[in-house]
Structure formats: C-alpha cells, structure tokens
Amino acid sequence: MSQDNETAASVVTEFFIVGFPGLLPKYYSLMAALLFCIYIAVITGNSLIVVLFVIERSLHKPMYIILLSLSFSDIGFCTVALPKVISRYWFNDGYIGFYVCLFQRQLIHYFGTLNSLIMMIMALDRYLAICYPLRYPVLMTNRTMRLLIGFSWVTAMISPTISSMQTVTLPFCGPNMIAQCFCDSQSMNQLACADVSLQNRISYGLAMFVLLVPFSFIIFSYASILVSVLRIANAQGRMKAFSTCATQLTIIIIYYVPRFVVYSSSSIPNIQMNSSQKVALVMFYSLLPPLVNPFIYCIRIKEIRLFFLKWCVQRNRMSLKINRLIIS
C-alpha cells in the first residue's frame, strides 16, 4: 500500500451499521426485540442439537455429525452477525471499529462458505446412503465424516481471506455508513475512495465459486437420488426416501436461491433491487435456516423423536414416584 493510501485509510476509523434503510425510529425497539428473539431461538435450538449429540450415543453417526457441525456453524454466524445490529436498534449504538468490521466481515463470509460446504457433504451422505445402501457403512464411517467436516472447517477460510486481503488495500476516506445489518464484502467495497471494480469482480467470482460448485454437486446428488428412488419397487421405501430428502432439499433451496439473486442483482439487468429489499432478502436467507433447522430435524429424525419420547416417559415416571412419596 502506498503512503497516500495509508493516510487515506486512516481517516475512517469506524463504520456505522445502518441496518434496515427506511425503518422509522418508532419501530427500532420492536425490530431489536424481534432480532433478539430470533437470536435466542437460534442459540437454544442449535444448542439442543449439540446437547443431544453429547448425551445420546445412538446419535453418533455420520448424518448427526453433519447436523452437529451445522449447528455450531449456525450458532457462530448468528453470534457474529446479530449482537451489533440488535445494539444498533436497542441502544442506537451502531458504531463498529474499522478492524472489528473487517473481522466481522471475515467471519460472516467464513460461516456462509462453511454452511455451503456442509450442505454439499450432507448431499454426499444422502447420495451414498440411498444410491449405495449396502456399501454405505463402509464408504461413510464416522472417521471419514469427521475428516470431511474438518476439511470443510479449514478450507472455508480461504475465500473470505482472499476477499479481505483485497479490502485491506483499499483507502477509506469519506462515508462510513454500512448499508447492511452487518459488515460484508459489497457494503465495505462501496465505501472505498478508489476504483473497486477489480475487487468487486474478485468478490463476485469467489462468491459464485463458493455457491456454484457445492450447488452443482448438490443438484447432481439429488438428481441421482431421484433416479434411484424411482427404481425402488416398495412404495413405502420410496416415500421414506423422498421424505428424508425433501426436508434437506427445502433448506438448501432457501439457502442458495436468494443468495444467487442478491449476488447477481447488480450483474443482471432485469433484476433491480433497492437497498431495503436487498437487506431484507439477506436477513431472510441468513436467519431462516439457522432458525428452522433444529426444529425441522428434531421433528423429522426418528432417533431424536425417540429420544424425546423416552425422556418424557422417564420424566412422567419420576413425577409419579415423587407424587406417591408425597401421598404416603
């Protein structure tokens, strides 16, 4: 970085998180309360998945290792993204330091990339389980799944690091209003006092790579699953396979499709979105999956339902014993 850039970059020492543009001040407390409730629900639901995995040994299987990793990722993302925007609306404290903003941006894109890789691994797991059921226990062991998950947690840092290194070289000397609920690549690049066309192309290319490669593999996996399911003679078996995949495919669609729209809105002429629409869509695809994932999987997965049933039965028995002791 040149001396001029260093001087210019030192002018802006903090940014201000705008949040939802156009939101009237009288709704600030309501928005803060809503985001706080979402945050508590995400932490509670995903922590429940973690606790279940720890105490119930029957869940120590490849599929549940994926869910455990997804829960940790969702907790991490919401913990990075939500507290500052909640503070902005509850206490009107939206200021965030330059390097803190850069670090938040790094983690925001890291957890986004990580979720994309985890969903690809989830699709791979379902592909092997349904298309190669006899070989599945050999192909997908707990050790193999741990290696895949560990690899995804490490490699997910590559793309955000490249993008952040590009931003560090930019001078920030004027406006400091982040038109988003958290610091991200597009919002920060827009505030630079320089030509950011190269950085935008690099960020866009990285985003499309992170989205398209896993999404292409996911489409291939579920297309292969569909072909295999249609070959199953047993109608009950077909319904079970469809039911298992439909839930995951719904979450995947919610996760990927809005992201393509947001990242491509500036490149596709027919897609025109104002800042309020873009922020709302970003928050939708960022918060809905972490919010609904634990509840969907707790309802849909047989082992988790059985655990809750067993827990309820044991609790009722304990209550009956206590009542008998009180009566006697």
- Please enumerate in sequence order all residues whose Cβ is within 8 A of that of 15, keeping only pairs 6 or more positions apart, or say none: 95, 96, 98, 101, 176, 177, 178, 183, 188, 191
User: What's the confidence (pLDDT) of residue 237?
Assistant: 64
| Number of C-beta neighbours around residue 166 at 10 A | 18
User: What's the confidence (pLDDT) of residue 108?
Assistant: 92
Q: Which amino acid is at 268?
A: I
pLDDT at residue 220 is higher than 50: yes
Q: In what order do the strands lie in the sheet containing 14-17?
A: 95-97, 14-17, 177-178
Closest Cα partner for 254 from 219, 292, 222?
292
Alpha helices in the chain (DSSP H): 3-9, 28-55, 62-90, 98-131, 136-139, 142-155, 158-168, 185-189, 197-230, 235-264, 275-300, 302-327
Place of tokens 């606790």: 51
With helix as H, strand as E and coil as C, how does 191-202 read? Answer: CCCCCCHHHHHH
Contact call for residues 160 and 109 (beta carbons, < 8 A): yes
Q: Which amino acid is at 227?
A: V
| Number of C-beta neighbours around residue 165 at 10 A | 10
Closest Cα partner for 96 from 178, 15, 161?
15
Confidence category of residue 74, pLDDT binned at 50, 70, 90: very high
Specify the range with the lowest mean pLDDT, choosing from 20-24, 107-111, 232-236, 289-293.
232-236
**Phi, psi of 55, deg, nearest 5:** -90, -15
Q: Give the residue-averaged pLDDT of 205-218.
A: 86
Average pLDDT score, the chain: 82
Specify the range with the lowest mean pLDDT, choosing from 1-5, 148-152, 289-293.
1-5
Q: Please state at what angle helix 62-90 crosses helix 275-300, rounded to 10 degrees.
A: 140
**Phi, psi of 63, deg, nearest 5:** -60, -40
Largest CA distance in the chain: 85
Joined together, the tokens standing for residue 184 give: 């991200």
Q: Give the residue-averaged pLDDT of 251-258.
A: 78
Q: Which DSSP string do the residues of 175-186 spell out, in sequence order?
A: --EESSSS--HH
Q: Pairing relation of β-strands 14-17 and 95-97?
A: antiparallel
pLDDT at residue 235 is higher than 90: no
Angle CA 189–106–199, to nearest 5:
30
3-state secondary structure of 228: helix
The pLDDT tens digits of the residues spanning 287-305 come to 888 888 888 777 666 666 6
Q: Which amino acid is at 292?
A: V
